[in-house]
Amino acid sequence: MSANNTIQLPNLSHYWMPFTANRQFKSMPRLFKAAKGNYFTSLDDRKILDGTAGLWCVPAGHGRNEIATAVGNQLLTLDYAPAFQSSHPLAFETAERLAAYMPTGLDRIFFTNSGSESADTALKIALAYHRVTGNPLRNKLIGRERGYHGVNFGGIAVGGIASNRKAFGNGLTGVDHIRHPLDIANNAFTKGMPADGGIALANEFEQRILTLHDPSTIAALIVEPMQGSAGVIVPPAGYLKRLREICTKHGILLIFDEVITGFGRLGTRWGSDYFEVIPDILTCAKGLTNGVVPMGAVSVKRELYDAFMENSAAGAIELPHGYTYSAIPIACAAAIATLDIFAQEKLEDRAAGLSSHFESCAHGLKGLPMVKDIRNIGLVAGIEFETIPNRLGAFAFAVYLKCYELGLHVRYTGDIIAISPPLTIEKHEIERIFSTLSDAIKFVASQGEAGLNANNYLKNEQDWAAISPR
């Protein structure tokens, strides 16, 4: 096929793409024009299997009619209602529905528009809670190394990914971090949760961080139950329960960032359910609307909400925080339609039922060249490669490009490939994901230096880029 004759490429110059190597992308654009079920359609009409549920945000599969209809109807009924000091019924209904979906007790809901806003909102609620209950000196926030809580200032402060922090100045003060639980030396190729080391690692929080700062100065600890963005880090057994005990003992609020682990990803509604640990505050986004309208939420224990209501002056705004688009009607319509799909199709159970097949397919990659570790939980897998000296990410990026050529979309971060398909994935598609990945790994490894050169992939896309207007 002569790509030049058939592909109408947009002008690539103006759009400054997020978290993207813009120059590299624009020399080799990877564009989708449609999506249905578990597949994208690329600009050149190829079906690309979605191995990542978009950016972890499309658990119910693409192009759901129920959601499209609900959003379309809502748009024509009530497009917008002012979010401050007035509202609309669907906002309350969405909160009620989401509260019923939450772990026990987390039934007061604040709406945001993204995971990043949810993280910052949760941190602000934690700080304000201590102030409103007469403990204003509890004002330090603890995150975790390799944690990802979005890109706003609060989120990058408690987050622990150096490359997301280094360009943006000093950020928040009064922040510290506990260690991450990844231990490849002892736990490589563990299926699911590593068995050992969890309690000792959690105890470090009390022995080191709390000793250093004094527990009475700490407002909250925020962690992802399973660290997604930094490369699928599954916590060891007992670790999160012990963190919960330590927080409770010292009056520290525990925040679970469930932006990735929510909505069935681990085979349960929440990571909280999977690990049987209930946080004080839980954040979510992504799957809440099946990825189609930006929406996030922060759920808090009823006692926290009540403390704000009881301790604020009559008529006062109890929490001076919120967004123009908090609980915008179309997001509410999408969220309710998504929750309906989860209830009807029991997608959490579906994910749980598929997880052992997914696990054995993922671990089938063990022994391939460069594969250093494989980690998995629910419908998530991380495949970590050896890093070529001074070329962090080069191997994984080439594998990603080769997969795309072969009709599979995967995510890469550093030298890790992450797989997190829609929960609607079929068994044969799981098999295809990992056999394609296997072919791509073998191919890249067999090519030596040439295998690492992006210019040796996606020749069609390079042809289009050459004719793209600038």
Q: What residues line the site for ligand PXG (CB under 6 A)?
A: 55-56, 114-116, 119, 148-150, 224, 228-229, 257, 259-260, 285, 411, 413, 418
CB of 346 to ligand PXG, least distance (A): 24
Q: Are strands 218-223 and 140-144 parallel, antiparallel or unpaired?
A: parallel
Q: Which string of DSSP letters, residue by residue, matches 24-57?
A: HHHTS---EEEEEBTEEEETTS-EEEETTHHHHT
By beta carbon distance, the residue nearest ligand PXG is: 115
Six-digit token string for 208: 């080191």
Min dist. Cβ of residue 285 to ligand PXG (A): 5
Instruction: Kindly give the residue spans of alpha helices, DSSP state H, lying in 159-210.
Output: 162-165, 184-187, 198-204
Sheet holding 411-413, edge to edge: 371-377, 380-385, 416-419, 411-413
Q: Least distance to ligand PXG from the beta carbon of 463, Å?
A: 28
**Judged by CB, which is closer to ligand PXG: 9, or 264?**
264
Closer residue to ligand PXG in complex, CB, 206/257: 257
97 or 411: whose CB is closer to ligand PXG? 411
Is residue 202 a contact partner of residue 235, using CB atoms and an 8 Å limit? no
Q: Give 177 or 213: the residue with its C-beta nearer to ligand PXG.
A: 177
Give 326 or 460: the residue with its C-beta nearer to ligand PXG: 326
Residues comprising the chain, all counted = 470
The SS3 assignment for 419 reads: strand
Q: Beta strand pairing status for 296-300 and 281-284?
A: antiparallel
CB of 89 to ligand PXG, least distance (A): 26
Task: Please report how close the Cβ of residue 187 comes to ligand PXG at its closest, in angstroms.
Answer: 21
* CA dist., res. 58 & res. 376, Å (int): 19
φ and ψ of 84, to 5 deg: -105, 125
Q: Which residues, other chains included, contact 102 with Cβ-Cβ below 8 Å and sequence gap of 6+?
A: 109, 270, 282, 299
Q: Which is nearer to ligand PXG, 149 or 375 (CB)?
A: 149
User: What is the b/e burial string over 125-138, where b = at least 16 CB atoms within 10 angstroms of the residue's CB?
Assistant: bbbbbbebbeeeeb
- Considering the complex, what minimum distance in angstroms separates the CB of residue 293 from ligand PXG? 12
Q: In whole angstroms, how close is the CB of 97 to ligand PXG at the nearest point?
A: 20
Contacts of 428 (CB under 8 A, 6+ apart): none
Question: Residue 29 or residue 150: which is nearer to ligand PXG going by CB?
Answer: 150
SS3 letters across 339-378: HHHHHHHCHHHHHHHHHHHHHHHHHCCCCCCCEEEEEEEC
Q: Strand, coil or helix: what is 253?
A: strand
Q: Which is nearer to ligand PXG, 193 or 417 (CB)?
A: 417
Going through 237-288 in order, the beta strands assigned E by DSSP cover 253-257, 281-284
Q: How far is the CB of 56 from ligand PXG (least distance, A)?
A: 6
Taking the complex as a whole, how short is the minimal distance between the CB of residue 150 and ligand PXG, in angstroms?
3
Comparison of 119 and 281: residue with beta carbon closer to ligand PXG: 119
Question: In angstroms, what is the minimal distance from the CB of 214 to ligand PXG?
Answer: 28
In the complex with ligand PXG, the residue whose CB is nearer, 351 or 418, is 418
Smallest distance, ligand PXG to C-beta of residue 95, A: 19
Q: Where are the beta strands (DSSP E) in 396-463?
A: 408-409, 411-413, 416-419
Residue nearer to ligand PXG on the CB measure, 38 or 121? 121
| Residue environment code for 368-403, b if the CB has 16+ CB neighbours within 10 A, otherwise e | bebbebbbbbbbbbbbbbebeeeeebbbbbbbbbbb
